[in-house]
Structure 1
Amino acid sequence: MPLTLTLTEGVLPAGTEKLAFRRICDSMLKWHGLSGNKVMTPNVVGAIHLLPKQQTYSGLEETEVAFIEWKVPSFAFNAREIQQGHIEEATGIIHELSGGKLPKQQIWANIVHAVDGAWGIAGQAMTNEQLGEALTTG
Protein backbone atom coordinates (compact mmCIF):
# COMPACT_ATOMS: atom_id res chain seq x y z
CA MET A 1 0.00 0.00 0.00
CA PRO A 2 2.17 2.88 -1.18
CA LEU A 3 1.95 6.23 0.53
CA THR A 4 3.34 9.21 -1.35
CA LEU A 5 3.97 12.09 1.02
CA THR A 6 4.86 15.28 -0.83
CA LEU A 7 5.92 18.32 1.17
CA THR A 8 7.28 21.76 0.46
CA GLU A 9 10.80 21.91 1.90
CA GLY A 10 10.81 23.47 5.34
CA VAL A 11 7.14 22.82 6.09
CA LEU A 12 8.27 20.27 8.67
CA PRO A 13 11.43 20.61 10.72
CA ALA A 14 14.28 18.72 9.02
CA GLY A 15 14.24 15.06 9.97
CA THR A 16 10.60 14.92 11.07
CA GLU A 17 9.42 13.90 7.59
CA LYS A 18 10.20 10.27 8.48
CA LEU A 19 8.16 10.56 11.66
CA ALA A 20 5.24 12.02 9.70
CA PHE A 21 5.44 9.17 7.21
CA ARG A 22 5.50 6.57 9.99
CA ARG A 23 2.62 8.13 11.91
CA ILE A 24 0.45 8.41 8.78
CA CYS A 25 1.12 4.75 7.95
CA ASP A 26 0.32 3.72 11.53
CA SER A 27 -2.93 5.68 11.26
CA MET A 28 -3.94 3.89 8.05
CA LEU A 29 -3.30 0.49 9.63
CA LYS A 30 -5.17 1.48 12.79
CA TRP A 31 -8.25 2.71 10.91
CA HIS A 32 -8.39 -0.59 9.02
CA GLY A 33 -7.96 -2.69 12.17
CA LEU A 34 -4.63 -3.97 10.89
CA SER A 35 -2.12 -2.60 13.41
CA GLY A 36 0.61 -5.19 13.83
CA ASN A 37 -0.68 -7.38 10.98
CA LYS A 38 2.32 -9.43 9.82
CA VAL A 39 1.14 -9.56 6.19
CA MET A 40 -0.01 -5.97 5.73
CA THR A 41 2.66 -4.07 7.68
CA PRO A 42 5.60 -5.08 5.41
CA ASN A 43 3.49 -4.08 2.40
CA VAL A 44 2.92 -0.54 3.62
CA VAL A 45 5.54 1.20 1.51
CA GLY A 46 6.08 4.59 -0.05
CA ALA A 47 8.17 7.65 -0.60
CA ILE A 48 8.69 11.12 0.75
CA HIS A 49 9.09 13.90 -1.80
CA LEU A 50 10.50 17.26 -0.64
CA LEU A 51 10.09 20.03 -3.17
CA PRO A 52 11.26 23.66 -3.14
CA LYS A 53 8.50 26.23 -2.65
CA GLN A 54 8.78 27.38 -6.27
CA GLN A 55 7.62 23.87 -7.28
CA THR A 56 4.52 23.56 -5.04
CA TYR A 57 1.29 25.35 -5.82
CA SER A 58 -2.20 26.14 -4.62
CA GLY A 59 -4.57 28.50 -6.40
CA LEU A 60 -1.99 28.78 -9.19
CA GLU A 61 0.45 30.45 -6.79
CA GLU A 62 3.66 29.18 -5.20
CA THR A 63 2.55 27.94 -1.81
CA GLU A 64 3.78 25.72 1.00
CA VAL A 65 1.73 22.52 0.84
CA ALA A 66 1.47 18.90 1.86
CA PHE A 67 -0.06 16.12 -0.24
CA ILE A 68 -0.91 12.75 1.32
CA GLU A 69 -1.73 10.16 -1.34
CA TRP A 70 -2.44 6.48 -0.88
CA LYS A 71 -2.62 3.87 -3.63
CA VAL A 72 -4.58 0.91 -2.29
CA PRO A 73 -6.70 -2.08 -3.34
CA SER A 74 -10.33 -1.21 -3.95
CA PHE A 75 -11.49 -2.74 -0.66
CA ALA A 76 -9.37 -0.34 1.41
CA PHE A 77 -10.87 2.90 2.71
CA ASN A 78 -14.30 1.55 1.75
CA ALA A 79 -16.16 2.83 4.83
CA ARG A 80 -16.93 6.52 5.29
CA GLU A 81 -15.76 6.52 8.91
CA ILE A 82 -12.36 5.13 7.84
CA GLN A 83 -12.01 7.78 5.13
CA GLN A 84 -12.99 10.63 7.43
CA GLY A 85 -11.07 9.37 10.45
CA HIS A 86 -7.81 8.70 8.66
CA ILE A 87 -7.82 11.88 6.58
CA GLU A 88 -8.57 14.00 9.65
CA GLU A 89 -5.82 12.23 11.63
CA ALA A 90 -3.24 12.36 8.82
CA THR A 91 -3.93 16.07 8.25
CA GLY A 92 -3.56 16.66 11.97
CA ILE A 93 -0.21 14.85 12.01
CA ILE A 94 1.24 17.16 9.35
CA HIS A 95 -0.28 20.26 10.96
CA GLU A 96 1.06 19.27 14.40
CA LEU A 97 4.56 18.39 13.17
CA SER A 98 4.73 21.70 11.31
CA GLY A 99 4.31 23.37 14.69
CA GLY A 100 1.01 24.78 13.40
CA LYS A 101 2.93 26.63 10.67
CA LEU A 102 1.18 24.83 7.81
CA PRO A 103 -2.57 25.53 7.93
CA LYS A 104 -4.86 22.52 7.46
CA GLN A 105 -6.26 24.31 4.38
CA GLN A 106 -2.88 23.71 2.72
CA ILE A 107 -2.85 19.96 3.41
CA TRP A 108 -4.59 17.71 0.89
CA ALA A 109 -5.19 13.97 1.00
CA ASN A 110 -6.53 11.54 -1.54
CA ILE A 111 -6.90 7.82 -2.05
CA VAL A 112 -6.46 6.07 -5.39
CA HIS A 113 -7.93 2.58 -5.81
CA ALA A 114 -6.33 -0.12 -7.95
CA VAL A 115 -8.39 -2.28 -10.27
CA ASP A 116 -9.30 -5.62 -8.66
CA GLY A 117 -6.70 -8.18 -9.70
CA ALA A 118 -4.04 -5.59 -10.49
CA TRP A 119 -2.41 -5.40 -7.06
CA GLY A 120 1.12 -6.80 -7.36
CA ILE A 121 3.13 -8.18 -4.48
CA ALA A 122 6.38 -10.03 -5.17
CA GLY A 123 5.52 -10.26 -8.86
CA GLN A 124 2.10 -11.82 -8.29
CA ALA A 125 -1.04 -9.98 -9.45
CA MET A 126 -3.51 -10.50 -6.62
CA THR A 127 -7.28 -10.07 -6.47
CA ASN A 128 -9.09 -8.49 -3.54
CA GLU A 129 -10.12 -11.99 -2.46
CA GLN A 130 -6.51 -13.21 -2.48
CA LEU A 131 -5.35 -10.17 -0.54
CA GLY A 132 -8.15 -10.63 2.00
CA GLU A 133 -7.18 -14.27 2.51
CA ALA A 134 -3.53 -13.29 2.99
CA LEU A 135 -4.47 -10.65 5.57
CA THR A 136 -6.30 -13.17 7.74
CA THR A 137 -3.05 -15.08 8.23
CA GLY A 138 -1.28 -12.01 9.58
Structure 2
Amino acid sequence: MPLALSYTEGVLTPEAGLRAGRKITEAFLKWHGLADNSAMSSNVTMQIQSLPKTGALSGGKPVEAVWLECKTPSFAFADREVQVGFFKEATEIISDEARGNVPRERIFSNVVHTVDGTWNFDGKAMTNAQLNAEIARG
Protein backbone atom coordinates (compact mmCIF):
# COMPACT_ATOMS: atom_id res chain seq x y z
CA MET A 1 0.00 0.00 0.00
CA PRO A 2 1.80 3.10 -1.14
CA LEU A 3 2.00 5.97 1.29
CA ALA A 4 3.35 9.32 0.10
CA LEU A 5 4.87 12.06 2.25
CA SER A 6 5.53 15.34 0.46
CA TYR A 7 6.75 18.59 1.98
CA THR A 8 8.09 21.93 0.88
CA GLU A 9 11.81 22.53 1.26
CA GLY A 10 12.82 23.63 4.72
CA VAL A 11 9.84 22.16 6.53
CA LEU A 12 11.66 18.86 7.09
CA THR A 13 15.30 18.00 6.61
CA PRO A 14 15.96 14.95 4.42
CA GLU A 15 16.83 12.99 7.58
CA ALA A 16 13.65 14.14 9.34
CA GLY A 17 11.60 13.18 6.26
CA LEU A 18 13.12 9.70 6.34
CA ARG A 19 12.44 9.32 10.08
CA ALA A 20 8.87 10.58 9.64
CA GLY A 21 8.30 8.18 6.75
CA ARG A 22 9.55 5.21 8.77
CA LYS A 23 7.48 6.14 11.83
CA ILE A 24 4.33 6.77 9.77
CA THR A 25 4.74 3.39 8.05
CA GLU A 26 5.06 1.72 11.46
CA ALA A 27 1.98 3.58 12.70
CA PHE A 28 0.00 2.55 9.62
CA LEU A 29 0.81 -1.11 10.22
CA LYS A 30 0.07 -0.81 13.95
CA TRP A 31 -3.32 0.91 13.52
CA HIS A 32 -4.39 -1.74 11.00
CA GLY A 33 -3.28 -4.60 13.28
CA LEU A 34 -0.57 -5.62 10.82
CA ALA A 35 2.65 -4.78 12.68
CA ASP A 36 3.79 -8.42 12.69
CA ASN A 37 2.32 -9.37 9.32
CA SER A 38 5.18 -10.22 6.95
CA ALA A 39 2.92 -10.16 3.87
CA MET A 40 1.92 -6.58 4.59
CA SER A 41 5.08 -5.15 6.11
CA SER A 42 6.94 -5.55 2.82
CA ASN A 43 3.99 -4.23 0.79
CA VAL A 44 3.43 -0.99 2.69
CA THR A 45 5.76 1.39 0.89
CA MET A 46 6.54 5.06 1.43
CA GLN A 47 7.52 7.70 -1.11
CA ILE A 48 9.16 10.78 0.41
CA GLN A 49 9.44 13.90 -1.70
CA SER A 50 10.74 17.38 -1.00
CA LEU A 51 9.08 20.04 -3.15
CA PRO A 52 10.68 23.35 -4.10
CA LYS A 53 9.26 26.36 -2.25
CA THR A 54 7.39 27.27 -5.44
CA GLY A 55 6.18 23.68 -5.92
CA ALA A 56 3.05 23.87 -3.78
CA LEU A 57 0.13 26.26 -3.66
CA SER A 58 -2.75 27.04 -1.34
CA GLY A 59 -5.41 29.33 -2.70
CA GLY A 60 -3.16 29.86 -5.71
CA LYS A 61 -0.24 31.16 -3.61
CA PRO A 62 2.99 29.42 -2.58
CA VAL A 63 2.67 27.58 0.72
CA GLU A 64 4.99 25.71 3.05
CA ALA A 65 3.21 22.56 4.15
CA VAL A 66 3.28 18.77 4.47
CA TRP A 67 1.00 16.27 2.73
CA LEU A 68 0.42 12.62 3.62
CA GLU A 69 -1.56 10.47 1.18
CA CYS A 70 -2.42 6.82 1.75
CA LYS A 71 -3.50 4.68 -1.21
CA THR A 72 -5.30 1.62 0.10
CA PRO A 73 -7.96 -0.98 -0.72
CA SER A 74 -11.48 0.06 0.21
CA PHE A 75 -11.54 -1.99 3.41
CA ALA A 76 -8.61 -0.06 4.92
CA PHE A 77 -9.50 2.88 7.15
CA ALA A 78 -13.09 1.61 7.40
CA ASP A 79 -13.03 1.87 11.21
CA ARG A 80 -13.45 5.39 12.62
CA GLU A 81 -11.09 4.65 15.53
CA VAL A 82 -8.35 3.72 13.03
CA GLN A 83 -8.99 6.88 11.00
CA VAL A 84 -8.80 9.18 14.01
CA GLY A 85 -5.96 7.36 15.75
CA PHE A 86 -3.70 6.94 12.75
CA PHE A 87 -4.02 10.49 11.45
CA LYS A 88 -3.59 11.93 14.94
CA GLU A 89 -0.38 9.91 15.37
CA ALA A 90 0.85 10.75 11.85
CA THR A 91 0.26 14.46 12.48
CA GLU A 92 2.19 14.21 15.76
CA ILE A 93 5.07 12.47 13.99
CA ILE A 94 5.23 15.12 11.27
CA SER A 95 4.93 17.98 13.74
CA ASP A 96 7.66 16.54 15.96
CA GLU A 97 10.02 15.96 13.04
CA ALA A 98 9.33 19.44 11.59
CA ARG A 99 10.48 21.01 14.89
CA GLY A 100 8.24 24.07 14.58
CA ASN A 101 8.83 24.65 10.86
CA VAL A 102 5.17 24.10 9.95
CA PRO A 103 1.96 24.78 11.88
CA ARG A 104 -0.47 21.87 12.36
CA GLU A 105 -3.02 23.55 10.11
CA ARG A 106 -0.53 23.11 7.26
CA ILE A 107 -0.25 19.34 7.72
CA PHE A 108 -2.72 17.77 5.30
CA SER A 109 -3.66 14.11 4.88
CA ASN A 110 -6.08 11.92 3.00
CA VAL A 111 -6.87 8.39 1.84
CA VAL A 112 -7.45 7.31 -1.75
CA HIS A 113 -9.16 3.93 -2.16
CA THR A 114 -8.38 1.75 -5.16
CA VAL A 115 -10.92 -0.04 -7.31
CA ASP A 116 -11.51 -3.64 -6.19
CA GLY A 117 -9.42 -5.98 -8.32
CA THR A 118 -6.68 -3.46 -9.12
CA TRP A 119 -4.45 -4.00 -6.10
CA ASN A 120 -1.10 -5.38 -7.25
CA PHE A 121 0.89 -7.75 -5.00
CA ASP A 122 3.81 -9.69 -6.42
CA GLY A 123 2.92 -8.71 -9.99
CA LYS A 124 -0.67 -9.95 -9.80
CA ALA A 125 -3.85 -7.85 -9.73
CA MET A 126 -5.86 -8.94 -6.70
CA THR A 127 -9.42 -8.45 -5.52
CA ASN A 128 -10.12 -7.36 -1.95
CA ALA A 129 -10.96 -10.99 -1.10
CA GLN A 130 -7.64 -12.21 -2.52
CA LEU A 131 -5.78 -9.46 -0.70
CA ASN A 132 -7.50 -10.34 2.58
CA ALA A 133 -6.46 -13.96 2.06
CA GLU A 134 -2.83 -12.86 1.64
CA ILE A 135 -3.07 -10.75 4.79
CA ALA A 136 -4.59 -13.68 6.71
CA ARG A 137 -1.61 -15.84 5.72
CA GLY A 138 0.57 -13.22 7.43
* Interval containing the TM-score (normalised by the shorter chain): over 0.9
In the TM superposition, what whole-angstrom CA distance separates every residue of 1:58-83 from its partner, at most 9, and x where no partner exists?
A: 23221111000011111111111111
Query: Which residues of 2 match residues 1-138 of structure 1 at below 5 A?
Result: 1-138=1-138
Q: In 1, Cα distance between the equivalents of 2:34 and 2:93?
A: 19
> Contact 1:57–1:65 (CA<8 Å) still a contact in 2?
no
Q: In 2, Cα distance between the equivalents of 1:40 and 1:49?
A: 23
Return the letter of the residue paired with 1:5: L
Q: In 2, Cα distance between the equivalents of 1:14 and 1:119?
A: 30
Q: In 2, Cα distance between the equivalents of 1:36 and 1:57?
A: 39
> Contact 1:8–1:65 (CA<8 Å) still a contact in 2?
yes
> Contact 1:74–1:113 (CA<8 Å) still a contact in 2?
yes
Q: In 2, Cα distance between the equivalents of 1:33 and 1:94?
A: 22
Q: In 1, Cα distance between the equivalents of 2:15 and 2:119?
A: 31
User: Residue 49 of structure 1: CA displacement?
Assistant: 1.1
Report how many aligned residue pairs link the two structures: 138
> Contact 1:4–1:46 (CA<8 Å) still a contact in 2?
yes
Large movers: runs of 4+ above 3 Å: none
- Once the two structures are aligned, what percentage of the paired residues are identical? 46
User: Residue 14 of structure 1: CA displacement?
Assistant: 3.4
Please report the RMSD computed on the Cα atoms of aligned residues, expressed in angstroms: 1.0
Return the letter of the residue paired with 1:21: G
Return the letter of the residue paired with 1:2: P
Q: 3-state SS of the aligned residue for 1:40? A: helix
Q: In 2, Cα distance between the equivalents of 1:8 and 1:59?
A: 16
> Contact 1:2–1:45 (CA<8 Å) still a contact in 2?
yes
Return the letter of the residue paired with 2:108: W
Deviates more, 1:89-98 or 1:52-61: 52-61
